[in-house]
């Protein structure tokens, strides 16, 4: 069995963020034209980790506007209908398909929650070509939005052995890589160096670092 995180690991969610900002630009077109003009240019490659950091990049300075923008983003980023804008990270699709073809059981372990994002996530994985909905694949989500991602993965990690013998886990959050090493010392923990939460812990020395899935 191989465990894969989604956001920032198999899937690049920056196109989703850029789409939301362009929709905000349309919303502000008449009321806040300066900010709208800046946000209208949003592309995936412009997006960094964190809403506040992105608003800085797009020169949205007014406090009230920033508060509104954060809510606008949150109302869309964490719902099924916007999962369709995610795209595979470089090499991820071919790598995962090769793992499945070689006989691996795939577990997609994500901090996305079941009530708001599971259906959209399933459809997104299916539509871009990841093995999903077939024998030997599972999508594991948080039962509730409010549960912190790291706490959820720490709680569920020991139970993953129910799916089979774990040989590797991929994640883009150092904290998650570290906890996986602690729970499954015989398996490989691989850190995908894309983007992650600020102020991460130091990586455990046993964690392997890669830039993407291309080989």
| pLDDT digits 0-9 by tens, 152-195 | 999 999 999 998 999 999 999 999 999 999 999 999 999 999 99
What are the tens digits of pLDDT across the range 103-146?
A: 999 999 999 999 999 999 999 999 999 999 999 999 999 999 99
Question: Which residue, 99, 94, 91, is CA-closest to 129?
Answer: 94
Angle between helices 14-27 and 63-77 (to 10 degrees): 130
pLDDT of 48 reads 95
Residues 6+ apart with CB under 8 A from 148: none
* pLDDT of 52 above 90: yes
* pLDDT of 1 above 90: yes
Q: Could you write out the DSSP letters of every residue in 72-119?
A: HHHHHHTSGGGGGG-EEPTTHHHHHHHHHHTT--EEEEEEEEHHHHHH
Pairing, β 87-88 against β 106-113: unpaired
Considering only CA atoms, give the Rg of the chain: 18
pLDDT of 215 reads 81
pLDDT of 94 reads 98
Rounded to two decimals, the pTM is 0.95
Question: Which residue, 212, 211, 6, is CA-closest to 124?
Answer: 6
């Amino acid at each position: 069995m191989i465990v894969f995180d989604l956001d920032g690991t198999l899937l690049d969610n920056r196109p989703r963020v850029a789409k939301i900002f362009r929709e905000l630009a349309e919303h502000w077109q008449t009321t806040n034209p300066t900010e709208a003009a800046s946000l209208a240019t949003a592309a995936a490659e412009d997006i960094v980790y964190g809403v506040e950091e992105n608003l800085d990049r797009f020169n949205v300075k007014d406090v009230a506007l920033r508060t509104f923008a954060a809510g606008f983003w949150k109302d869309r980023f964490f719902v099924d209908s916007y999962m369709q804008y995610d795209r595979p990270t470089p090499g991820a699709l071919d790598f995962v398909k090769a793992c499945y073809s070689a006989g691996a059981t795939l577990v997609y372990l994500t901090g996305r929650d079941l009530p708001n994002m599971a259906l959209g996530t399933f459809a997104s994985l299916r539509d871009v070509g990841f093995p999903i909905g077939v024998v030997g694949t599972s999508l594991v989500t948080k039962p509730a939005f409010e549960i912190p991602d790291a706490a959820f993965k720490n709680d569920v990690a020991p139970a993953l052995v129910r799916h089979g013998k774990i040989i590797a886990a991929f994640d883009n959050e150092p904290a998650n890589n570290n906890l996986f090493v602690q729970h499954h010392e015989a398996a490989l923990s691989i850190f995908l160096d894309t983007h992650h939460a600020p102020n991460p812990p130091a990586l455990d020395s046993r964690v392997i670092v890669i830039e993407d899935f291309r080989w």
